[in-house]
Each structure stands twice: as C-alpha cells, then as structure tokens.
Chains A and B, each alone.
Chain A
Amino acid sequence: MIHVILPAHLRTLAHVDGEVAVDVKGPATLRSVLDALEAQYPVLRGTIRDHVTLQRRPFLRFFACQEDLSLEPPDTPLPDAVARGSEPFMIIGAIAGG
C-alpha cells in the first residue's frame, strides 16, 4: 500500500482523516498513484489534476522523500521507500498570502 498525504481541504472533501492508503497495481509512478487515489476517492477527480489533460493543477506540488517531484513526467517511478509504503507521497498546496 502507498501512503498519500492530502492537503487539509481535500481530506475534508474526501471525508478522510490523516494519511490515506491506496493499492497500486504495477509500478508506483505519479500517474499510477493518482489514478488509484482518484479511483478510491472519485470526489478528488479534477481537484489535483485537470479532468481532460491530467496536468497537475498549478497551485499543487508533489513531494516524496524530501524530493520535489512536481515537474517530473507522470510515468517517473516513485522512490522505493514510497513504493514500499515506508515513506508517504505528499500532495501539497502552495502557500500564498501573509
């Protein structure tokens, strides 16, 4: 299982507390993890990636193992520690305002 940390507003929207765990078939990539997340929580469709282009929404970033994966291609394998479930995959909302 892959552990995903969502921003607070998306946790509220998906009615979950804390981390969520998703089961990914095959290699753990940005795309496969987000596919699994959206399948498990359909309400999140369109809130992280555009419905049509599947591009990351501009004010969101992806992090894992202290790496910024936001600009990586969608089929980039996630770090082994994320694939093993020992480190979370984090979806972070950009900070704005004072």
Chain B
Amino acid sequence: MSKVRVLVGTRKGAFILTSDGKREKWDVSGPHFAGWEMYHVKGSPVDPNRLYASQTSGWFGQVIQRSSDGGKTWETPGGEAMPTPGSMPAGASNKFVYDVSPSTGKPLTTHQWYDGTQHPWEFKRVWHLEPSLTDADTVYAGVEDAALFKSTDGAKSWQELSGLRGHGTGPKWQPGAGGMCLHSILLDPSNPQRIYIAISAAGAFRTDDGGKTWKPINQGLKSTYIPDPTAEIGHCVHHIAMHPSRPGVLFMQKHWDVMRSDNAGDMWREVSGNLPTDFGFVIDVHAHEPETIYVVPIKSDGEHFPMDGKLRVYRSRTGGNEWEPLTNGLPQRDCYVNVLRDAMAVDSLDSCGVYFGTTGGQVYCSSDAGDHWAPIVHDLPAVLSVEVQTIR
C-alpha cells in the first residue's frame, strides 16, 4: 500500500507527517532538532529513506543532518567521534567555503549591497537541499549568500560550483528582503547536464554542462522596482517549478508576476491572467497534469498575507492565464498568514495530493488536486518548507 511522508521545516524544528494513500489519518513525528530553524528537509528520489536536512541558527551557524531510515534517526555526516583520541575530524558537513580566484587567491567576486555599494560574499545558511535524481550520496545545496554547492559523499563535504558566481554578473546580484539566497534548484530528469537555479534578487540561471558554466535566463521578466525593469540581472524570483515530463517548460512566481517559459528559460511570458494579485511565493505543478499549476496569491510586497483575510489556492488547468480559486476547507475569514517559497509540494499518487504550510503553523493537504482541503496540523511553528515523498 502506498503512503506519503510530508517533510516539514519550521522556525523551531522539523516535523514528519505520515499517512497511507487515503491521506485522512496522519501520524506526526517531531519536533526533530527542536529549537533550531529547519530551512529544508528533502528525501532522495533514489532511496526514499535517505533524507537531508538543513539545520541553522543565527548563533551556531549551519548544520547538515542526514537520515538513512526515513527520519527515525539522524546523523551529522562526518561528525562522528574520531577513532584516535585527540585527532581532528576530517568531516565537515557544515563547511561551506566559497571558492577564490585560482590566479589571485582573492574572492571571486563581490555583490551589490542594499545601498548600492559592493559587498563581499558571506555564508549564512543553506536554504534548499536538492538530492540527485540518480545517486543517493549526491546532493546540491542552495545557500545564502547565493551560491550552489555539491556533495558527492552523502553531505560529508561540499564543493562550490563556482562557475555560477564567477560567470560575470555577480556584482549585480543583490539581497532581497529575505537575504541573497539561492532557493530553487531544478534538476532536468532528461538531461543530467542541465540544472536550473533561482536567486533572490538576481534571477534565474541555467547550466547545460553540469554546473561548470551558467547563463542568466531572465529575458521577458519585467520588474518595475529595479532601475532597468527588463535588465538581465536583478529580478526577485521567488520560486520556479517544472514538471518532470516536460523539463523545458518552467513556471515562475516572481516577486510580482506569475511567468512561464516554454524554451528552458530562454524567454518568459506573463501568465498572471485573472489572479486577484500576482504577488506570492510558491508555485508548483500537478504530478500528472503538466499544464495544471498552483499558486497562493499574497496581497502585496508590503502586506504578506492573503487578500481579504481569505486563504485561497489558485489553480490553472491551462498552464496559466485562467485561474480558479480553491477554497473548500481553507479559512475564508480573518486569515493573515503567509506561505513561503519552499512551502508547497505535491505527491504522485493517482489522485494528486497538494500540500502547503503557512507561517501560522498549519499544514494543509488536498488529496484531490486542490478541490478539497483539510489541515494535517494546526499549530506548528511557522512553516518554512514542505516536501512530500510518495512511498510505494
């Protein structure tokens, strides 16, 4: 019998919610790593029991946790005690060191600070962990300040894919209100050399050679809050999504505007259509219908909550432009939560399940592609991320 495992990262720990394929009764496990900010937890598509988790703290920095039993037990890769007393451990699962210029030994680049001056890169935390589609020990990490790291030893050690930061536009990248984070990583299942990433506030980028070289893919984006609204760099992309059967079609929730690209990001067009507001953070795609997409409209960049106190998911069955509100089971009065960029996911059961978490600590599930919703949990800490594993 199939089951689903929902991996929830919150401001004060991680939670694992499990149910059978009916998705009516749920077991709640957690908090794991109580008191720590859990930015993201995600499972390997190769080995569903292999989970990776980003545990962070303003006081104590970054920790990477790994589970080999679906979240029952955890370890810090390479963090085990050394066999020889007094010897220093070799593992450094939380060691994220930016590459420097091989010729000068100096930092590769600087980025633009809030006041327009140049600022050095400073590692703060891992926002997103993306396990490889083919190897359970390979995992990518999107970090703040924005960069992409890769581990091929189960997160024991990390190497930067510095062609991204070093390709030339780095001095134009700037932090958004949430920091300068690399928050989205999409691996193309049909082409292992192709990866898409997105950075707030720089834009989207693509590599076609496994991460050695990168190019911005922001043509068609228009952001009126930057000096040149159609600039190559500087767009505050909030999230990007892709259906695995059509990896050349991308969907984007930008700061304002919902966008789509039908040519792997080379050109984007707006598909906000009849949305009541096109500001938001999350966007995701139905597991079986590549033209069915979901967003949660948020009132504005100054008011991070749903319009009119009504929590509504919007679904388009036409790949954008034509949207319908989904409200059944969601609060339709006095609701002023936010839904953050990594806090929506879908399962791949026959009747596609859609999940999202809120800053009010609710995690909602729809087991019928959005027609009906019910909360799995009401009162968690603010939800930072939601991922779903379908286990058969």
Partner of B60, one of A36, A40, A47, A52: A47
Q: Is A60 an interface residue (CB 8 A)?
A: yes
CA distance A25 to B60 in the complex (A): 26
CA distance A74 to B286 in the complex (A): 55
Known: A42-B78, A45-B92, A46-B62. A52 touches B35 (CB 8 A): no
Evaluate contact between A52 and B97: CB separation under 8 angstroms: yes
Which of B82-90, B107-115, B309-317 lies on the face that meets chain A? B82-90
Q: Is A10 an interface residue (CB 8 A)?
A: yes
Q: How large is the interface on A (under 10, 10 to 19, 20 to 34, 35 or more residues)?
A: 20 to 34
Residues of A contacting B97 in the complex (Cβ-Cβ under 8 angstroms) = 51-52
Considering only residues 46-97 of chain B, those with a C-beta below 8 Å from chain A are 57-63, 76, 78-82, 85-89, 91-92, 94-95, 97
Total number of residue pairs linking A and B with CB closer than 8 Å: 74
**Interface bits B135-161 vs A (CB < 8 Å: 1, else 0):** 000000000000000000000000000
Residues of A contacting B35 in the complex (Cβ-Cβ under 8 angstroms) = 8-9, 12
Evaluate contact between A51 and B95: CB separation under 8 angstroms: yes
Evaluate contact between A46 and B95: CB separation under 8 angstroms: yes
Q: How large is the interface on B (under 10, 10 to 19, 20 to 34, 35 or more residues)?
A: 20 to 34
CA distance A38 to B80 in the complex (A): 11
Q: Is B34 an interface residue (CB 8 A)?
A: yes
Q: Is A81 an interface residue (CB 8 A)?
A: no
CA distance A76 to B34 in the complex (A): 35
CA distance A42 to B85 in the complex (A): 12
Evaluate contact between B36 and A9: CB separation under 8 angstroms: yes
Residues of B contacting A48 in the complex (Cβ-Cβ under 8 angstroms) = 60
Known: A13-B63, A36-B86, A40-B81. A59 touches B58 (CB 8 A): yes
Q: Which residue of B lies closest to A10 (CB)?
A: B60
Min CB distance, B97 to chain A, in Å?
A: 6
Partner of A47, one of B34, B61, B87: B61
Evaluate contact between B91 and A42: CB separation under 8 angstroms: yes
Q: Is A41 an interface residue (CB 8 A)?
A: yes
Considering only residues 44-98 of chain A, those with a C-beta below 8 Å from chain B are 45-48, 51-52, 57, 59-60, 93-94
**Interface bits B375-392 vs A (CB < 8 Å: 1, else 0):** 000000000000000000
Residues of A contacting B57 in the complex (Cβ-Cβ under 8 angstroms) = 9, 47
Evaluate contact between A45 and B89: CB separation under 8 angstroms: yes
Min CB distance, B73 to chain A, in Å?
A: 12
Q: Which residue of B lies closest to A42 (CB)?
A: B89
Min CB distance, B106 to chain A, in Å?
A: 15
Residues of A contacting B87 in the complex (Cβ-Cβ under 8 angstroms) = 39
CA distance A29 to B89 in the complex (A): 20
Considering only residues 7-53 of chain A, those with a C-beta below 8 Å from chain B are 7-10, 12-13, 23, 25, 35-36, 38-43, 45-48, 51-52
Most chain B C-beta atoms within 10 Å of own C-beta, residue among A12, A13, A43, A93: A43
Interface residues of A (CB under 8 A from B): 7-10, 12-13, 23, 25, 35-36, 38-43, 45-48, 51-52, 57, 59-60, 93-94
Q: A40-B85, A47-B57 are in contact. List 7 more A-B contacts (CB 8 A).
A: A8-B35, A13-B60, A13-B63, A42-B80, A45-B79, A47-B60, A47-B61
State the 8 A-B residue pairs at the shortest beta-carbon distance, nearest first: A42-B89, A43-B79, A47-B60, A59-B59, A51-B95, A46-B94, A43-B76, A93-B59
Q: List 24 A-B contacts (CB under 8 A).
A: A9-B36, A12-B34, A12-B35, A13-B63, A23-B85, A23-B86, A38-B88, A38-B89, A39-B82, A39-B89, A40-B85, A41-B81, A42-B76, A42-B79, A42-B81, A42-B91, A45-B95, A46-B94, A47-B61, A47-B94, A48-B60, A52-B95, A59-B58, A93-B60
